[in-house]
Amino acid sequence: MDKKYRIALLFNANKVYDRQVIEGIGEYIQASQCDWDVFLEEDFTTNMNNFHNWQGDGLIADFDNVEVISQLSNINIPVVGVGGSYQSDDDYPVVPYVATDNHAIVDMAFQHLKSKGIESFAFYGLPNTSPHGWAHERRKAFSHIIAKEGYPSSIYLGNETSPKTWQYDMNRLSDWLQMLPAGTGIIAVTDARARHLLQACDHLNIMVPDRISIIGIDNEELARYLTRVSLSSVGQGCKSMGHKAARMLHRLLEKHEAESDPSKSHVIKHARVLVPPTKVYQRQSTDYQALKDPFVIQAMHFIRQHACKGIKVDQVLNYVGISRSNLETRFKEERGHSLHQEIHNSKLNRAGSLLQSTELPISEIAELCGYPSLQYMYSVFKKNFNQTPKEYRMECIS
321: domain CATH number?
Answer: 1.10.10.60
Amino acid at 269: K
How many domains does the chain contain in total? 3
DSSP lists the bridge partners of residue 7 as 38, 58
Quick check: 124 pLDDT over 50? yes
Domain match, 111 and 231 both? yes
Q: What integer is the mean pLDDT of 283-312?
A: 86
Domain match, 138 and 178 both? yes
Domain match, 179 and 266 both? no
Domain match, 156 and 194 both? yes
Domain match, 123 and 61 both? no
For 382-398, the pLDDT digits (tens) are 999 999 999 999 887 76
Quick check: 50 pLDDT over 80? no
Q: What integer is the mean pLDDT of 61-88?
A: 86
216, 245, 278 — which closes off a domain?
Answer: 278
Quick check: 185 pLDDT over 90? yes
Domain match, 173 and 208 both? yes
Domain match, 220 and 323 both? no
Domain match, 108 and 224 both? yes
DSSP SS3 for 8: strand
For 239-278, the pLDDT digits (tens) are 999 999 999 999 988 876 555 444 444 444 568 999 999 9
CATH number of the CATH domain containing 150? 3.40.50.2300
For 14-24, the pLDDT digits (tens) are 778 888 999 99
Of 1-10, 87-96, 185-194, the poorest mean pLDDT is in: 1-10
Contact 334, 296 (CB under 8 A): yes
Q: Report d(CA 343, CA 380) in Å as an integer.
A: 13
224, 251, 286 — which closes off a domain?
Answer: 286
Provide φ and ψ at 341, rounded to 5°.
Answer: -65, -35
Q: How far is CA 315 from CA 145, 284, 307, 311, in A?
A: 43, 22, 10, 6
How open is the CA angle 340-316-368, to the nearest 5 degrees? 70
**pLDDT at residue 380, as a whole number:** 93
Q: Which domain holds residue 126?
A: 102-235+281-286
Domain match, 192 and 171 both? yes
More confident residue, 353 or 36: 36
Amino acid at 13: A
Quick check: 144 pLDDT over 80? yes
Domain match, 95 and 169 both? no
Domain match, 263 and 373 both? no
Domain match, 149 and 242 both? no
Q: Report d(CA 96, CA 79) in Å as an integer.
A: 7
Q: Report d(CA 259, CA 84) in Å as an integer.
A: 31
